[in-house]
Amino acid sequence: MELSESVRSGLQLLADRGRFQHEAFAALVQGAFRSLADMQAAATSLDHPELKHIEMTVLKHCHAATATCILEAVKQNADMSTISSCLEDCKLDKERIEHFCTEYQKYKETLEILLGSIGRSPLHITDVSWRLEYQIKDLIGKLKDAAKSLERAAQM
């Protein structure tokens, strides 16, 4: 499984036991899986009490790296050995890898369905409904511009 250098560095930060104790690691990994599987959980995924002591930029970097790793694994339908070797390369220990793999097994089917629903073709607009208020404001703006131009022409 190929991961970018940024994702690898985020996972290496997550592997640091001094920065992320077991409870904080578990909370971040669970939050990343929940935020991908449930859009409503995304807003509160970093609000866990175990994560309060960690600097927000580090927390966001590690969350993004974890989410990217999860999506890449689901996209490639990676097995446990592939995920384990990738996480070992990022310096995660056996206990953390097992926790990650357990969460992955729990959410894999949901995330496969989610990724499958996105489709392979680019998005396209099917219907556009302009709001009347926007159109009126736009026309008023055009009338004001025309009035200013007319005033300038009259002054010359």
pLDDT at 131: 65
Residue 155, in any domain of the structure:
no
pLDDT at 62: 95
Beta-carbon contacts of residue 21 (< 8 Å; ≥ 6 apart):
50
Residue 144, in any domain of the structure:
no
Residue 126, in any domain of the structure:
no
The low-confidence residues of the chain, meaning pLDDT below 70, are 122-132
pLDDT at 45: 78
Beta-carbon contacts of residue 78 (< 8 Å; ≥ 6 apart):
1, 72, 86
Containing structural domain, residue 60: 5-118
Rounded mean pLDDT of the chain?
A: 88
Query: pTM (2 decimals)?
Result: 0.73
Number of H helices, E strands in the chain: 7, 0
Residue 131, in any domain of the structure:
no
Question: In angstroms, what is the C-alpha Rg of the chain?
Answer: 24
Residue 137, in any domain of the structure:
no
The domain tally of the chain equals: 1
Residue 141, in any domain of the structure:
no
Beta-carbon contacts of residue 45 (< 8 Å; ≥ 6 apart):
31, 32, 34, 35, 63
Q: What tens digit of pLDDT does each residue of 51-93 get?
A: 999 999 999 999 999 999 999 999 999 999 999 999 999 999 9
Residue 147, in any domain of the structure:
no
Residue 89, in any domain of the structure:
yes
